[in-house]
């Protein structure tokens, strides 16, 4: 598609729809200082499907599966606005989708669409190339009615501490304010959201839950569909057939929020401390833009940053802290086990004896276990060594094309031993499981990661205990702080009488 425009009757017209003659009459959208916007024609019978596709978003033309003539017809009547994608500014460029202005993250290339040298943004390239000649389109018509005000069908019962947290979430939504929910792994954060989500849907609000990882989207969507069976729920992730679907309740990866603009009345950020959201300013900006100016924002975390911890404990942030799991049993505390130079052993085709003995004991008892490794290379080198005494052991990592199927096999108890990178440190639940970390001293295993990994154990009320072991070649501060964090939560839960030992 040739993306150039001309001015006809004081308004933009795409070259493909123009009758204007002469090469010099056409320009790219970034050449204009100000882009004319038509006043909305209230009597215009706009296309409802186009409204549902574009409302609450800023999209590229190629992301809008409607004829260009129809799109422009709505723009001429004030229902769609053309906006700049990448804008040249003094000293560099600015991306209107991800707000990038770092000169090193733009690239200039000879563009076939505008027939000129054209700069595009490399920072948000994974969402589709946006450049000086690609407009962003925004819906300016009335908002679609949010249908799906069904009541929650969840039949579970919240514990008193959970009810308190759920009540705080409801109040934050009613007051349209921000709230941090700092709750231990396995506290039942998803269930605590149900009353707030139900209240928002009842009031005709749009709700989105954003999470850093696709695995968590797969985990959450079925649970939300069971809880709200009459409410359309959209799963938004890279490659999803639903990522442009308008729904009252959406579950999205944080990257998909780049397409949204003032769309959601309630935006819930799950695992706000997780990579990449925690360290990516682009994703944080996208989350703020996806929420309406008057919208509520709920942050869920088991391991907040040190800054947030201090502010929460000093009462400087609106926060609710839940230090106990819903089944009221203490968090399993990790053990530290020195295993020698495990990297050298694996290179020589051997497993450290203590690691092998630990896994063999699980296999003997028929108990599933997750074994975490710091990188894919070491994990793949170790897999044949595990297969020698545990036929059927699998390994999984972020770029594994069978990742979803392998996790599902583990969930169905078809696999006893699953080797994994930090991709499974959070967002997945397997009842009755033990966890080992091989090379816990590696830099990738931060305090947050180790707390989350420990949190995979003892989540189910029928199996509230389990073993967590950090195999290491030397203790690190992160290991020590992770253990202290877990023990502190247990003490807080004991103080507040949230534990019942039986």
Contact 148, 287 (CB under 8 A): no
Cβ atoms within 10 Å of 403's Cβ, excluding its own: 17
Q: Mean pLDDT, to the nearest integer, of 165-190? A: 96
Contact 83, 93 (CB under 8 A): no
Q: How confident is the model at residue 2 (pLDDT cuts 50, 70, 90)?
A: low
Condensed to tens digits (0 to 9), the pLDDT of residues 51-79 reads 999 999 999 999 999 999 999 999 999 99
Torsional sign, CA 468, 474, 477, 478: negative
- Is 275 a residue whose pLDDT tops 80? no
Condensed to tens digits (0 to 9), the pLDDT of residues 108-148 reads 999 999 999 999 999 999 999 999 999 999 999 999 988 76
* Secondary structure (H, E, C), 328-395: CCCCCCCEEEECCCHHHHHHCCCCCHHHHHHHHHHHHHCCEEEEECCCHHHHHHHHHHHHCCCCCCEE
| Average pLDDT of every residue of the chain | 94
Q: Which of 87, 64, 82 is nearest to 13 (CA)?
A: 82
Q: Mean pLDDT, to the nearest integer, of 24-41? A: 92
Residues 446, 450: Cα–Cα separation, whole Å: 6
Condensed to tens digits (0 to 9), the pLDDT of residues 457-497 reads 999 999 999 999 999 999 999 999 999 999 999 999 999 99
The pLDDT of residue 247 is: 94
Cα distances (angstroms) measured from residue 79 to each of 11, 263, 445: 14, 16, 50
299: three-class secondary structure by DSSP: strand
Contact 439, 381 (CB under 8 A): no
Least confident of 39-43, 44-48, 149-153, 209-213: 149-153
Give this prediction's pTM. 0.89
Boundaries of CATH 3.40.50.300 in the chain?
160-322, 335-495
Cβ atoms within 10 Å of 321's Cβ, excluding its own: 18
The pLDDT of residue 273 is: 85
Contact 273, 305 (CB under 8 A): yes
| Tokens, residue 501 | 């030992």
Percent of the chain with pLDDT over 90: 87
The terminus-to-terminus CA distance of the chain in angstroms comes to: 68
Cβ atoms within 10 Å of 3's Cβ, excluding its own: 22
- Is 436 a residue whose pLDDT tops 50? yes
Q: In what order do the strands lie in the sheet with 58-60?
A: 58-60, 136-139, 80-83
Q: Mean pLDDT, to the nearest integer, of 34-48? A: 95
**Pair type for strands 136-139 and 80-83:** antiparallel
The pLDDT of residue 148 is: 64
Residues 314, 316: Cα–Cα separation, whole Å: 6
- Is 223 a residue whose pLDDT tops 70? yes
Q: Mean pLDDT, to the nearest integer, of 351-378? A: 97
Helix or strand (DSSP H, E) at 265: strand 264-269
Angle at 128 between CA 37 and CA 141, to 5 degrees: 30
Q: Mean pLDDT, to the nearest integer, of 155-172? A: 94
Residues 465, 460: Cα–Cα separation, whole Å: 9
Q: How confident is the model at residue 175 (pLDDT cuts 50, 70, 90)?
A: very high
SS3 content of the chain, % helix, strand, coil (to 5): 35, 25, 45
Look up residue 271 and give its DSSP letter. Answer: T
| Tokens, residue 469 | 């072991």
Q: Which residues of 157-193 are buried (b: 16+ CB within 10 A; e: fewer)?
A: ebbebbeebbebbbebbeebebbbbbbbbbbbbbbbb
| Tokens, residue 224 | 């939300």
Q: Mean pLDDT, to the nearest integer, of 313-341? A: 96
**CATH code given to domain 160-322:** 3.40.50.300
Q: How confident is the model at residue 502 (pLDDT cuts 50, 70, 90)?
A: very low
Within 13 Å, how many C-alpha atoms sit on residue 411's CB side?
A: 13
Helix or strand (DSSP H, E) at 471: strand 468-472
Looking at domain 335-495, does it have CATH number 3.40.50.1110?
no
């Amino acid at each position: 598609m040739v993306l150039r425009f001309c001015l006809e009757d004081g308004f933009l017209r795409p070259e493909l729809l123009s009758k204007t003659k002469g090469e010099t009459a056409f320009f790219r959208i970034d050449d204009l200082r100000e882009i004319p916007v038509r006043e909305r024609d209230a009597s215009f019978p706009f296309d409802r499907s186009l409204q549902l596709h574009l409302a609450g978003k800023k999209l590229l033309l190629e992301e809008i599966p409607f004829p260009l003539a129809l799109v422009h017809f709505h723009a001429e009547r004030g229902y769609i606005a053309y906006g700049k994608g990448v804008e040249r500014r003094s000293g560099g460029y600015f991306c209107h989708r991800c707000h990038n202005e770092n000169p090193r993250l733009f690239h200039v290339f000879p563009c076939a669409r505008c027939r000129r040298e054209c700069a595009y943004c490399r920072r948000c390239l994974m969402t589709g190339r946006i450049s000086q000649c690609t407009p962003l389109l925004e819906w300016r018509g009335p908002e679609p009615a949010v249908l799906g005000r069904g009541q929650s069908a969840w039949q579970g019962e919240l514990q008193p501490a959970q009810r308190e947290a759920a009540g705080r979430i409801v109040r934050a939504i009613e007051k349209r304010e921000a709230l941090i929910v700092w709750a231990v792994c396995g506290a039942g954060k998803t269930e605590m959201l149900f009353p707030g989500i139900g209240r928002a849907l009842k009031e005709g609000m749009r709700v989105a839950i954003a999470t850093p990882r696709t695995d968590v989207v797969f985990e959450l969507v079925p649970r939300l569909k069971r809880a709200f069976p009459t409410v359309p729920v959209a799963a938004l992730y890279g490659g999803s057939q639903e990522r442009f679907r308008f729904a009252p309740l959406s579950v999205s990866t944080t990257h998909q929020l780049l397409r949204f603009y003032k769309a959601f009345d309630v935006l819930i950020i799950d695992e706000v401390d997780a990579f990449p959201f925690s360290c990516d300013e682009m994703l944080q900006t996208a989350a703020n833009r996806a929420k309406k100016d008057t919208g509520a924002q709920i942050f869920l975390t088991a391991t907040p940053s040190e800054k947030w911890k201090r502010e929460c404990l000093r009462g400087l942030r609106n926060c609710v802290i839940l230090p106990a799991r819903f089944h009221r049993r203490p968090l399993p505390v990790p053990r530290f086990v020195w295993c020698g130079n495990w990297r050298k052993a694996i290179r020589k085709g051997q497993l450290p004896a203590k690691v092998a003995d630990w896994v063999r004991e699980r296999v003997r008892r028929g108990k599933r276990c997750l074994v975490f490794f710091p990188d894919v290379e070491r994990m793949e080198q170790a897999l044949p060594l595990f297969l020698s005494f545990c036929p059927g052991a699998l390994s999984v990592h972020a770029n594994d094309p069978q990742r979803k199927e392998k996790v599902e096999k583990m969930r169905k108890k078809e696999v006893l031993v699953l080797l994994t990178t930090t991709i499974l440190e959070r967002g997945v639940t397997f009842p009755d499981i033990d966890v080992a970390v091989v090379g816990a001293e590696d830099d990738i295993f931060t305090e947050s990661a180790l707390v989350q990994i420990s949190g995979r154990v003892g989540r189910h009320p029928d199996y509230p205990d389990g073993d967590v072991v950090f195999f290491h070649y030397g203790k690190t501060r992160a290991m020590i702080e992770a253990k202290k964090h877990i023990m502190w939560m247990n003490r807080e839960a004991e103080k507040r009488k949230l534990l019942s030992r039986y």
